[in-house]
Amino acid sequence: MADESSSRMHATTILMVRKGGRVVIGGDGQVSLGQTIVKGNAKKVRRLAKGAVIGGFAGATADAFTLFERLEAKLEQYPGQLTRACVELTKDWRTDRYLRRLEAMMLVADREVSLLLSGSGDVLEPEGGIMAIGSGGNYALAAARALADSELNAEAIVRRSLAIAAEICVYTNANVVIESLEA
């Protein structure tokens, strides 16, 4: 009998850095099924709310698309209120029978706030303006924290940190998608 964990979708590294009046979210493009890379150029970072919000996801792809759609609806209901929209989404995520089964995490940001969202009801602001999720998230987070005080801007930190994560984490590749906003 095959190990259940070997058939689960693994992957990703999503990193968010807020520095120098800019917020940047970057993610790799690898999707793995067990020990096999099934896609190398997935787009896990995108713009929402007519470009006013950027977000990235880690977890099951279909679940993430569902959550992005739900977040879009909350952003329409609460325009310009990212925190409120996220709190309302995570309330639904925790209490709705269907949504509770979704396996994903999200990083989202607008010009003012950066947040991590999870199905356990977490709506967290990053410490020091840096946060990461996914299987390679801790590698990217460590690299970004080490680079935070350097001369590099937010985008350069995200690119370099994701490259470092790709060198270490087998579920992360160097095919990176970046989105950014001026603060």
**HEC profile of 26-82:** EECCCEEECCEEEECCCCCEEEEHHHCEEEEEEECHHHHHHHHHHHHHHHHHCCCCH
Q: Catalytic residue at 83?
A: no
Strand partners, 131: 16
Distance CA 111, CA 53 (A): 8
Distance CA 149, CA 102 (A): 36
C-alpha distances out from residue 140 to 81, 127, 163, 178, Å: 28, 15, 8, 14
pLDDT for the residue 119: 78
pLDDT for the residue 100: 66
pLDDT for the residue 12: 86
Q: What are the structural domain ranges in the chain?
A: 4-174
Homologous superfamily (CATH) for 4-174: Aminohydrolase, N-terminal nucleophile (Ntn) domain (3.60.20.10)
Query: Which portions of the chain are predicted below pLDDT 50?
Result: 1-9
pLDDT for the residue 29: 93
